[in-house]
Amino acid sequence: MADIKVDVRGETCPVPLVETRKALRKASPGDTVEVVGTHPASKKEIPMALKALGLKLEDIQEEEDVWKIRIGV
Amino acid sequence: MTDKATIVVHSGDMDKMYSALIIATGALSMGMEASLYFTFWGLERLIKGKLEKGALSSMHMFGLGKWMVRRRMKAANVASLEKLLQDFKELGGKIIACEMTMQIMGIKQDDLRHDLIDEYGAVGTYIQEARESKITLFI
């Protein structure tokens, strides 16, 4: 069970969403993917993608414009 | 069956290439399949070395507008078309090149970035893709 980190701070549309998807495709069942970013729309849209992909949003946090999303694969 | 997006990339303008590739990679990222059908001026962008060479669809102003927009895109850290195209392929996107355009414009397979192209086809290929798609766009 690996803990995969995706750092998309400073990246804009569509990179946070695309990099999240790329990491999820490489992950194995049981892995956790943690995405850190600053692009505001992606904070809403990554959870929408997870729902469409049938994956579990484990946690979402935001502190001073930096959000962190944890995904269970 | 997985939902699919099929986009006709008719324009070779830089901004429209961005629209097409952002929507297509977005669709793949959200769990859809995606196909891009490159035709006319859009297909020119798949000629080796031509991807980033499109003009702006408006306010191009002999290249001044494009230069300004590129500068602002760089400041906003917008991904290059090359990165978006590579991401599109990595996420399983399909690229179809229009054979008739190749014939009209005298483009040979060797002129194109053959490694990126999954299929060379005509209208029937597009329709077959589009009829299975929830989203289809002409850009």
What CATH number has the domain bearing residue B56?
3.40.1260.10
Of residues A12, A14, A49, nearest to B77 (C-beta): A12
The count of structural domains within chain A is 1
d(CA A22, CA B87): 8
A12: chain B residues, CB-CB within 8 Å: 76-79
Taking only the tens place, the pLDDT of each residue in B3-28 is 999 999 999 999 999 999 999 999 99
Q: What CATH number does residue A54 fall under?
A: 3.30.110.40
* pTM score, whole prediction: 0.95
What DSSP line would sit under chain B, residue for residue?
A: ---EEEEEE----HHHHHHHHHHHHHHHHTT-EEEEEE-HHHHHTTBTT-TT-PPPSS--GGGHHHHHHHHHHHHTTPPPHHHHHHHHHHTT-EEEEEHHHHHHHT--GGGB-GGG--EEE-HHHHHHHHHT-SEEEE-
User: Is A58 in the active site?
Assistant: no
What's the domain range around B73?
A: 4-138
Residue type, B42: G
Contact pairs from chain A to chain B, CB under 8 Å: 43
Q: Does A73 touch chain B (CB under 8 A)?
A: no
What's the domain range around A60?
A: 3-72
Of residues A15, A48, A49, nearest to B79 (C-beta): A15
Q: Is the ipTM of this complex over 0.90?
A: yes
Taking only the tens place, the pLDDT of each residue in B66-82 is 999 999 999 999 999 99
Taking only the tens place, the pLDDT of each residue in B78-134 is 999 999 999 999 999 999 999 999 999 999 999 999 999 999 999 999 999 999 999
The count of structural domains within chain B is 1
